[in-house]
Amino acid sequence: MTGHQIQQATLSNGLTVLVETMPAVQSAAFSLLIPAGSAFDPVGQNGIANALADWITRGAGSMSSRELLSAFDRLGIQAHESSSLHHLAIGGSCLAGNLPAALKLYGDVIKRPQFNEEDFEAVMAGVEQSLLGIEDDPRQKVMFELIRRCFPTPWGQPAEGTLADLERITPDSVRTQFQRCVRPKGAILGIAGNVTLEEILPVLEETYHDWTGANEISLKTGDRGAYRDHIDHESTQTHIGVAYPAVAYGAENYYHAWAAVNILSGGMSCRLFTEVREKRGLCYSVYATLNSLKDQGQVLCYAGTTTERAQETLDVLLNELKRLGDGIEEAELNRCKARAKSSLIMAQESTGGRAGSLARNWFYLNRIVTLDEVRSKIEALTTESVLEYIKSHPAQDFTILTIGEKSLVG
Sign of the torsion angle spanned by Cα atoms 404, 223, 83, 350: negative
Q: What is the pLDDT of residues 323-350, one digit of tens each?
A: 999 999 999 999 999 988 887 777 667 9
Cβ neighbour number for residue 12 with a 10 Å cutoff: 11
As to burial, measured by CB atoms within 10 angstroms (0-12 exposed, 13-18 middle, 19+ buried), residue 36 is buried
Domains of the chain from N-terminus onward: 5-208 (3.30.830.10), 228-404 (3.30.830.10)
Tens-digit pLDDT profile for residues 41-94: 999 999 999 999 999 999 999 999 999 999 999 999 999 999 999 999 999 999
**Nearest by Cα to 168 from 42, 293, 289:** 42
Per-residue pLDDT, 360: 95
* Three-state SS at 220: coil
Give the three-class secondary structure for 407.
coil
Report the pLDDT value the prediction gives residue 347, as an integer from 0 to 100.
67
Percent helix, strand and coil across the chain, each to the nearest 5: 45, 20, 35
pLDDT in tens, 302-323: 999 999 999 999 999 999 999 9
Q: How confident is the model at residue 190 (pLDDT cuts 50, 70, 90)?
A: very high
Length of the chain: 410
Cβ 149 vs Cβ 156: under 8 Å: yes
Q: Which of 214, 216, 199, 181 is nearest to 17 (CA)?
A: 199
**φ, ψ of residue 230 in degrees (nearest 5):** -145, 140
Task: Give the pLDDT score at 385.
Answer: 97
State yes or no: pLDDT of 201 exceeds 80.
Answer: yes
Alpha carbon separation from 114 to 127, 175, 177, 382 (Å, rounded): 19, 10, 14, 54
**pTM of the complete model:** 0.94
C-alpha–C-alpha distance, residues 352 and 392, integer Å: 36
Cα dihedral sign for 65, 46, 403, 128?
negative
For the segment 352-362, the average pLDDT, to the nearest whole number, is 95
Per-residue pLDDT, averaged over 12-21, amounts to 97
Asked whether residue 1 carries a pLDDT value surpassing 70, the answer given is no
Cα Rg of the chain (Å, integer): 23
Q: How confident is the model at residue 163 (pLDDT cuts 50, 70, 90)?
A: very high
Residue 3's pLDDT band (cuts 50, 70, 90): low
Please state the rounded mean pLDDT for residues 129-151: 96
Where does the pLDDT of residue 97 fall: very low under 50, low under 70, confident under 90, or very high at 90 and above?
very high
Q: What pLDDT shows up at residue 410?
A: 78
Q: What are the pLDDT digits (tens) for 261-285?
A: 999 998 777 899 988 888 888 888 9
Classify each residue of 83-101 as buried b or exposed e, where b means 16 or more C-beta atoms within 10 Å of its C-beta. bbbbbbbbbbbbebebbbe
d(CA 392, CA 400): 21
Question: Residue 130 has what pLDDT?
Answer: 96
pLDDT of residue 266: 80
Per DSSP, the residues of 118-176 read HHHHHHHHHHHHHHHHHHT-HHHHHHHHHHHHHS-TTTT--TT--GGGGGG--HHHHHH
Provide the mean pLDDT of the chain: 94
Residue 281 pLDDT: 85
Q: What is the pLDDT, as a whole number, of residue 268?
A: 77
Phi-psi category of 366—alpha, beta or left, where left has phi over 0 and alpha has psi -120 to 50? left
pLDDT tens digits for 214-240?
999 999 999 999 999 999 999 999 999
Taking residue 330's Cβ as centre, other Cβ atoms within 10 Å add up to: 9
Q: For position 261, what pLDDT does the model report? A: 96
| Nearest in space to 38 (alpha carbons), one of 164, 159, 186 | 159
* pLDDT tens per residue across span 105-119: 999 999 999 999 999
Which stretch of DSSP H or E encloses residue 211? none
**247, 257 in Cβ contact below 8 A?**
yes
Distance between CA atoms of 12 and 2, rounded to whole angstroms?
31
Q: What percent of the chain has pLDDT over 90?
A: 90
* Rounded Cα–Cα distance for residues 320 and 58 (Å): 48
Contact (CB, 8 A) for 314 and 400: yes
Report the C-alpha gap between 217 and 41 in whole angstroms.
10
